[in-house]
Amino acid sequence: MTSSPHQSLGSTTRELSSIYDLAMLDLDGVVYLGPDVIAGASEALAAARGVGIRLAYITNNASKPAIEVADKLRAMQMPDLDDADVVTSAQAVAHLMADALPSGSPVLLVGGEGLRVPLEDRGLRCVSALADGPVAVVQGFHPDIGWHQLSEASYAIQAGLPWYVSNTDMTVPTPRGIAPGNGSLVQAVRNATGAEPIVAGKPERALFDETIARVGGDHPLMVGDRLDTDIDGAINAGIDSLAVLTGVSTLATIVAAPVGHRPTYVAADLHGLGDVHREVVVDGQQARCGDAEAICEEGVVRVVSGQVGATDTLRAVVELAWQISDRSDTLVVLDGTLDA
């Protein structure tokens, strides 16, 4: 059987926060879950900031203005936080639209204040009905969006108006579980119109460009919990990425990721910014990273030594699974203690 191309994890001899000059931090599933901070996030980011890396908090969620998000993060004790350190997909889509439309243009808003504020900051005027004469449609997540707003957007798009959306995340993590995201609402409009939107948020690169423009950074690292937005977005933007396991994507998801959709690094949570990501040595059905060791028997990967959840252990598991899958075109699975 012909083997597939292979893509390995990146490795370092120093902690990540000393190698990159900017960490682009996704929010939902990385820094917090809904109203609750993820345990240890503030301490991990304070330690990374102490090494010198800058922190940008970027989110595809367009439901709240950036200043409200910044206030929430300050209440969660995030270190050295300025309002400008928060960048949303609403800001990115507003920038795209302001570049394409004359100043003062009316736009049909399907969303909340998180989308309205950056649009108005860019000189655009928000309206709520096709009868108001909009020249474009813009859609972003808000929990109060209902049938009437989605229908109005559909009528406007069918009338020929260009359609911009903040992001297309199909789901969003909440303390109660996984809920429908903006992408699910976008799909409803897509179903009605057959149109395809212009997307600003991850995995498109507009949000990454907006972040660099606002915060700076020559050698950024994307930190996210979703392969389909955070990691694919980093790949599209040509930057390295760290996948953490505190949100949507699980270890099994990362193990199953095909070449071209894999993170550069993996860690249990934001403490991975302070870890050395040691090289993984794979020998047949066995892999070692530091003191951690994983083996694959009958297509099942399990840990022989090392603490489950430690960065070395995760790296041994992921690299072993990727190498076996790539050379045999067979997807391996994880032992039950890893796939919990």
The catalytic residues are 26, 28
- What six digits make up the tokens of 291? 């003191």
Residues in contact with 251: Cβ distance below 8 Å, sequence separation at least 6, in sequence order:
245, 266, 314, 317, 318, 334, 338, 339
Q: What is the DSSP letter of 28?
A: B
- What six digits make up the tokens of 187? 């799909």
> Phi and psi at residue 317, in whole multiples of 5°?
-65, -50
- What six digits make up the tokens of 22? 């900017």
CB 22 within 8 A of CB 53: yes
Q: State the CB neighbour count (10 A cutoff) for residue 314.
A: 30
Strand boundaries in 228-289, DSSP class E: 240-244, 265-267, 281-283, 286-289
- What six digits make up the tokens of 172? 């969003």
Whole-angstrom Cα distance, residue 337 to residue 157? 49
Whole-angstrom Cα distance, residue 55 to residue 79? 9
Whole-angstrom Cα distance, residue 239 to residue 228? 15
Q: What is the DSSP letter of 231?
A: I
- Beta strand pairing status for 163-165 and 198-199? parallel
Q: Which stretch of DSSP H or E encloses residue 94?
A: helix 89-100
Q: Alpha carbon of 47 to those of 1, 75, 78, 98, 211: distances in Å?
A: 47, 18, 11, 38, 22
Whole-angstrom Cα distance, residue 94 to residue 122? 7
Helix axes 147-158, 182-193, angle to 10 degrees: 50
